[in-house]
Amino acid sequence: MPVTDTRKDYEAILPKWQRLRDCFNGRDAIIAAGNKYVPDLPGVDLAGNKAYRERGSYYNAVGRTVQGMNGAIFQTAPEVELPATSDPLLDDITLTNVTFESFSTEVGKEIFITGRYGVLVDMPIQPPTGETQKPDVDMRPYCVGYRAEDIINWRTERRGGDEVLTMVVLKEDEEIVDPKDPYACVRVCQYRAVYLKGGVCVLQLYREKAGEVGVYEPYGAEVTLMRRGDALTFVPFIFIGAIKPTPEVEHPPLVDMADVNLGHWRNSVDHEYGLHLVALPTPWLAGRKGSSEGPMKIGPSVVWELELQGSAGMLEFSGQGLGAIVTAMGEKKKQMATLGARLLEDAPVTSETASAVKLRHSGETASLKTVAQSLEQGFTLMLQICVWWQTAGLAKPTDALVEVELNKEYLNIRATPQEIQVALTALQAGEMSFETWYSLLQKGGWSREGVTAEEERKAIDTAEASEDEPEIDPDLSPNEPPPPPPKKKVVRGSDGKVKYEISEE
């Protein structure tokens, strides 16, 4: 069995992934697909069909929905708890200066596109025997992400009641220096196989050369993945899906929208083509006087001479066919909105209550939360392996103290002044804690960003303490007592009343 072989369920789902990828990438990708999504016109040559498709206007519902849903989850940065010694992971999770926040956002985008992603946790490979390690190489775990289309094969086994990953094959696109030109680069297809052999995890690379795939051996035929002198006994690869982080292939969440989006595109191409043929008024005449050879000119300074019974006019389209296409396009927009494109919905003309908004988006919120929960689990497994790999004293990855939490509040409904007043009354009456009160302020957008309830309470205590302290002249030293008040001389009139005071300094 060659390393390039693919699983049957991979082959079955691949066309859906490709449709989703093309829809997300937009108009250029759709047009580049040729007659894959819009059939050729009969009797029209290649150039004519290309022009036929290029007249269409692509309404990228899939792309806008992916960006909107992913933005809802990552509108606030992920909250990550892990040992302080592993903080560098968050600053550069890939050893290519990509932060964990940027990496997680990219994973979320891929999950909404295809419903599947993979992450390989690895360590920099030690150099071959006789070579020294480069001083700028950071010898710590790092993560490499793989799109759904690049995870071409995998195998699992049931061991002790658990489904264990025993093999995965990853397709990679590598850029290397052209052997014929040191100033040029070429791209080669590479396959990375990671599998269990004799109870330990090994890695082997394959590369295409002259149309054939062979073993690529810069470090030997196989590399055993090691952790502190011991071989790994599991494959450090994590599958992340839209529902759960498992190798099982799931139905992509937006594939139905993509199919409707492509139908909308076909309607647009036909509509624009129809307008091209019939929308412009066309002059006609019957019974032209004189020669009928050669082109005729039209304009305010041109006179057409006609025979006695001749006539002329303008040919204009007056049918209902194009209107039917416009109606169909409008219906498809509504279908896409129903299938989850919240960003495509028209804003209500009248104001809505918070409960009405929640009810209108309840189905979509549930799917967003499902994706967020799956991402949390996948990121936690990924970081647990990283922390375990670099930390002594941990028996297994699950012993690593790691927790990842993503945003699950997607309906940014700010608290009204009336709701804040009710909560304040409960706080003053002792029926609500300050922490609960402050959490309501945070959700309602009334608090300072990034300030916890404990920090806010300290700020209040500090402000109250400063108000109780007497004012001190900043020009005085801390140990110097304030000067006595100036003496005053009172001047009285003949009637004994005080006329004015004179300060004696």
pLDDT score recorded for residue 20: 96
17 within 8 A of 148, measured Cβ to Cβ: yes
- Calculate the alpha carbon distances from 96 to 93, 103, 126, 218, 334 in Å: 8, 11, 18, 21, 43
pLDDT score recorded for residue 481: 61
Q: How many CB atoms lie within 10 A of CB 387?
A: 21
pLDDT score recorded for residue 363: 45
404 within 8 A of 376, measured Cβ to Cβ: yes
HEC profile for 192-250?
Answer: EEEEEECCEEEEEEEEEECCEEEEECCCCCCEECEECCEECCCCCEEEEECCCCCCCCC
Q: How many CB atoms lie within 10 A of CB 473?
A: 9
Q: Which of 166, 16, 125, 100 is nearest to 378 (CA)?
A: 100
Number of residues that make up the chain: 505
Name residue 207's beta-bridge partners: 190, 214
pLDDT score recorded for residue 265: 92
- DSSP for 273-334 reads HHHHHHTS-EEEEEEESS---S----STT----EEEEEEEEEE----SHHHHHHHHHHHHHH
Q: At what angle do helices 417-428 and 434-444 cross, to 10 degrees?
A: 170
- The rounded distance, in Å, linking the Cα atoms of 262 and 336 is 11
pLDDT score recorded for residue 17: 97
- The rounded distance, in Å, linking the Cα atoms of 477 and 474 is 8
Tell me the residue type at 154.
W
pLDDT score recorded for residue 345: 40
- The rounded distance, in Å, linking the Cα atoms of 239 and 247 is 6
- Calculate the alpha carbon distances from 29 to 26, 61, 270, 329, 459 in Å: 6, 14, 19, 21, 54
pLDDT score recorded for residue 480: 58
Side-chain-side CA neighbours of 222 within 13 Å: the count stands at 14
281 within 8 A of 298, measured Cβ to Cβ: no
Phi/psi at 376 (5° precision): -60, -45
Tokens of 103: 């990496």
pLDDT score recorded for residue 81: 93
Q: How many CB atoms lie within 10 A of CB 485?
A: 7
- The rounded distance, in Å, linking the Cα atoms of 167 and 48 is 48
pLDDT score recorded for residue 478: 53
17 Ramachandran zone, left/alpha/beta (phi>0; psi -120 to 50) = alpha
Per-residue pLDDT of the chain (505 residues; tens, 9 = 90+): 789 999 999 999 999 999 999 999 999 999 999 999 999 999 899 999 999 999 988 999 899 889 888 988 998 899 999 998 888 899 999 999 999 999 999 999 999 999 999 999 998 876 554 555 555 456 789 999 999 999 999 999 988 888 899 999 999 998 888 888 888 998 889 999 999 999 999 999 998 887 788 888 776 678 999 998 899 999 999 999 998 899 999 989 899 899 999 999 999 988 888 887 777 777 887 877 776 667 778 888 888 888 888 888 877 776 677 778 888 888 888 877 777 644 334 445 455 555 555 544 444 444 788 899 999 999 999 999 999 999 988 999 999 999 999 987 765 556 677 777 787 788 777 788 888 878 877 777 777 777 888 888 888 878 767 666 555 555 555 555 666 666 666 666 666 665 555 555 5
pLDDT score recorded for residue 415: 67
pLDDT score recorded for residue 346: 40
